[in-house]
């Protein structure tokens, strides 16, 4: 007897596993097959990969809420941009969000005109939050705003809001305000990750209250008095630390900071240290970090205010995986290192006036380098001449010039890709391709993904050349390449039908 069975006869657990092989677009199409698949397609762990973005204005509020209410999806991550609009009431938003029990992460931006009582109502209806971000970073405030009651006053209401499940909190305040934040530990008693953008004096009280439980701390506007007191604290579990720009002017601060990284808890727990490019780190601090923070996996810092020769101390960080270096290291001569960091796979070099010496140093200590990002560097053509010989294992390469960089160099790094057989992805941003794309992408044997952003000299002819130079290309991304036309993109697609194209020409 022949038993016929179709996919809908399978147990729901098996059908769910099958759906897990689909990307978002195909999963959305599958959800329209039947009611069961509509439920299965957007449930389980898959919902962790989806973030719902809602862009709300006064005129679109009702329509947006109608769609959200009828949708019925168990969203876990929601971002709402209020666009700095005055709303007489947001009670309906609070009720609808409160009905979605699955929400674990909520980001609210553009909340300049949200009243404290409105924000209190909204947050009170979402008690299951694990992550919360409140962002008001618009510096263009009208004078009338100064007299309004700012949204963060909801933290001072009595009784205050109480969100014990929140473990990750990000608060971005406008610069004109210095909020009082002493109540945060009572509102969010179980925080493990905290990011504050303010220079309010009360943040030192907050840091002290959380010193025994924080695993990640980001302070984006530290002041001198705060920094001195902060460096005297001991954080029992801190593993990730991020500081914004800060000027280390006097020896007292340098000594305090050095002692902080000598603390046994900090030495054995810190895995990520990120210093803003304008954080003027000194040689003594850097040396202390390299010699003591043995489990560090990610380090980001500026070289401008330290002795470049001290950079060789970095070989003590045997577990380092990601390294970002900003500014210029002034070497007496390029440090030669016999020791290596086998885990170091990703490096970024930014705004360096002498990038060749720096790259030679990186090639010495990172024999297994896979990803290299070059940003705002001088002498790009010279870099390309030496790159194949010293970082032949490279799989991902990015070269970019920021909008603030005056004049990106025009060069023709002809044929440098020929010997880089491992290279798979290549990204160029604001690069002048003045002599044709041949020099940039000629004979890349295994290149699969190319991203070209703001390359304004790129044209349709260059795309035709690209079809012959990169036979294994499977992903092409074009953004703000003004001379490329829809006709040129269509011609490229017809020549390389297996290549997926993401296009944003204007």
Contact 189, 164 (CB under 8 A): yes
Whether 14 is in a domain gets the answer yes
Q: Are residues 380 and 504 in the same domain?
A: yes
Q: Tokens 């070209």 label which residue?
A: 452
Asked if residue 4 has pLDDT above 70, the reply is no
pLDDT on residue 143: 47
pLDDT on residue 144: 47
Q: For the segment 178-207, what is each residue's pLDDT rounded down to a tens digit?
A: 888 888 999 999 999 999 988 888 889 999
Q: How many domains does the chain have?
A: 3
Contact 202, 179 (CB under 8 A): yes
Structure tokens at 296: 């560090």
Candidates 36, 32, 47, 46; CA nearest to 7 is: 36
Most confident option among 218-232, 285-299, 307-321: 285-299
Q: Are residues 10 and 97 in the same domain?
A: no
Beta bridge partners of 80: 54, 108
Contact 265, 238 (CB under 8 A): yes
Strand intervals (E) in 46-150: 51-55, 77-81, 105-109, 131-135
Candidates 133, 119, 69, 58; CA nearest to 97 is: 69
End residue of a domain, out of 138, 166, 194: 166
Phi and psi torsions of 402, nearest 5°: -70, 165
pLDDT on residue 146: 47
Please, what is the end-to-end C-alpha distance for the chain in angstroms? 62
* Alpha helix stretches (DSSP H) within 130-202: 143-147, 184-187
Q: Are residues 18 and 142 in the same domain?
A: no
Other beta carbons within 10 angstroms of residue 127's beta carbon come to 15
Dist. CA 473–CA 462, nearest whole Å: 15
Whether 103 is in a domain gets the answer yes
Confidence of residue 309 (pLDDT cuts 50, 70, 90): confident
The 8-class DSSP code of residue 483 comes to B
* Alpha helix stretches (DSSP H) within 271-407: 283-292, 355-365, 380-390
Q: Are residues 20 and 149 in the same domain?
A: no
Of residues 133 and 156, the one with the higher pLDDT is 133
Q: Are residues 154 and 125 in the same domain?
A: yes
Q: For the segment 128-149, what is each residue's pLDDT rounded down to a tens digit?
A: 899 999 998 655 555 444 446 7
- Report, as an integer, the average pLDDT of 425-432: 86
Q: Are residues 418 and 471 in the same domain?
A: yes
Q: Are residues 156 and 39 in the same domain?
A: no
Structure tokens at 205: 């009280």
Q: For the segment 433-470, what is each residue's pLDDT rounded down to a tens digit?
A: 655 566 666 667 788 998 989 887 888 888 887 777 77
Whether 136 is in a domain gets the answer yes
End residue of a domain, out of 29, 48, 67: 48
Dist. CA 435–CA 93, nearest whole Å: 55
Whether 22 is in a domain gets the answer yes
pLDDT on residue 331: 75
Q: Are residues 59 and 162 in the same domain?
A: yes
Confidence of residue 295 (pLDDT cuts 50, 70, 90): very high
Q: Are residues 2 and 120 in the same domain?
A: no
Contact 149, 116 (CB under 8 A): yes
CA angle in degrees (0–180, nearest 5) for 118-120-125: 100
Whether 506 is in a domain gets the answer yes
Q: Is omega for the bond preceding 159 within 30 degrees of 0, making it cis?
A: yes
Asked if residue 299 has pLDDT above 90, the reply is yes
Q: Are residues 477 and 402 in the same domain?
A: yes
Q: Are residues 143 and 23 in the same domain?
A: no
Whether 129 is in a domain gets the answer yes
Give the max Cα distance, the chain. Answer: 88
- pLDDT above 90 coverage of the chain, percent: 34
Q: Helix, strand, or coil here: 135?
A: strand
Whether 464 is in a domain gets the answer yes
Q: Are residues 498 and 380 in the same domain?
A: yes
Other beta carbons within 10 angstroms of residue 290's beta carbon come to 21
Structure tokens at 25: 């677009």
Candidates 267, 269, 266, 323; CA nearest to 291 is: 267
End residue of a domain, out of 106, 140, 166: 166
Structure tokens at 460: 């349709």
Candidates 356, 361, 344; CA nearest to 383 is: 356
Whether 236 is in a domain gets the answer no
Antiparallel, parallel or unpaired: β 168-172 and 193-197:
parallel
pTM for the whole structure: 0.84
Q: Which domain holds residue 437?
A: 370-506
Q: For the segment 61-104, what is each residue's pLDDT rounded down to a tens digit?
A: 888 898 888 877 778 889 999 999 889 889 999 999 988 888 88
CATH number for the domain including 16?
1.20.1280
């Amino acid at each position: 007897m022949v038993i016929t069975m179709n996919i809908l006869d399978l147990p729901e657990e098996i059908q769910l596993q099958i759906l897990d092989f689909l990307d978002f677009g195909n999963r959305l199409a599958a959800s329209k097959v039947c009611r069961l698949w509509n439920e299965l397609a957007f449930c389980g762990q898959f919902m962790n990969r989806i973030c719902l973005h809602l862009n709300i204005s006064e005129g679109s509020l009702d329509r947006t809420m109608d769609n959200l209410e009828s949708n019925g999806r168990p969203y876990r991550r929601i971002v709402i941009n209020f666009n700095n609009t005055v709303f007489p009431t947001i009670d309906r938003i609070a009720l609808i969000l409160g009905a979605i029990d699955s929400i674990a992460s909520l980001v609210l931006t553009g909340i300049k005109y949200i009243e404290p009582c409105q924000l209190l109502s909204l947050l009170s209806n979402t008690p299951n939050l694990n992550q919360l971000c409140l962002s008001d970073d618009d510096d263009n405030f009208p004078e009338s705003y100064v007299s309004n009651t700012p949204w963060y006053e909801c933290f001072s209401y009595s009784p205050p809001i109480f969100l014990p499940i929140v473990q990750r909190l990000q608060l971005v305040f406008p610069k004109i305000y210095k909020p009082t934040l002493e109540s945060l530990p009572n509102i969010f008693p179980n925080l493990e990750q905290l990011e504050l953008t303010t220079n309010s004096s009360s943040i030192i009280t907050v840091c002290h209250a959380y010193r025994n439980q924080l695993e990640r701390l980001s302070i984006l506007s530290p002041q001198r008095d705060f920094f001195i007191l902060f460096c005297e604290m001991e954080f029992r579990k801190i593993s990730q630390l991020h500081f914004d720009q800060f000027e280390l002017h006097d020896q007292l601060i340098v000594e305090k900071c050095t002692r902080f990284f000598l603390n046994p808890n900090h030495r054995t727990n810190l895995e990520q240290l990120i210093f803003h490019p304008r954080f003027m780190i000194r040689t003594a601090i850097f040396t202390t970090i390299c010699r003591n923070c043995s489990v560090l996996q990610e380090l980001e810092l500026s070289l401008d205010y330290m002795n470049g020769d001290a950079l060789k101390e970095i070989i003590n960080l045997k577990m380092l995986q990601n390294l970002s270096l900003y500014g210029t290291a002034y070497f007496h001569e390029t440090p030669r290192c016999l020791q290596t960091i086998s885990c170091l796979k990703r490096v970024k070099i930014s705004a360096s006036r002498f990038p060749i010496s720096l790259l030679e140093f990186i090639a010495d200590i990172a024999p297994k380098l896979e990803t290299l990002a070059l940003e705002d560097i001088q002498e790009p053509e010279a870099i390309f001449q030496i790159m194949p010989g010293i970082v032949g294992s490279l799989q991902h390469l990015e070269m970019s010039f920021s909008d603030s960089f005056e004049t990106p160099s025009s060069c023709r790094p002809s044929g440098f890709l020929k010997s880089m057989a491992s290279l798979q992805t290549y990204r160029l941003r604001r690069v002048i391709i003045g002599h044709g794309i041949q020099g940039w992408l000629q004979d890349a044997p295994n290149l699969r993904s190319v991203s070209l952003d703001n390359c304004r000299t790129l044209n349709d002819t260059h795309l035709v050349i690209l079809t012959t130079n990169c036979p294994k290309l499977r992903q092409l991304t074009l953004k703000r390449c003004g001379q490329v036309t829809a006709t040129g993109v269509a011609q490229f697609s017809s020549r390389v039908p297996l290549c997926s194209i993401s296009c944003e020409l204007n």
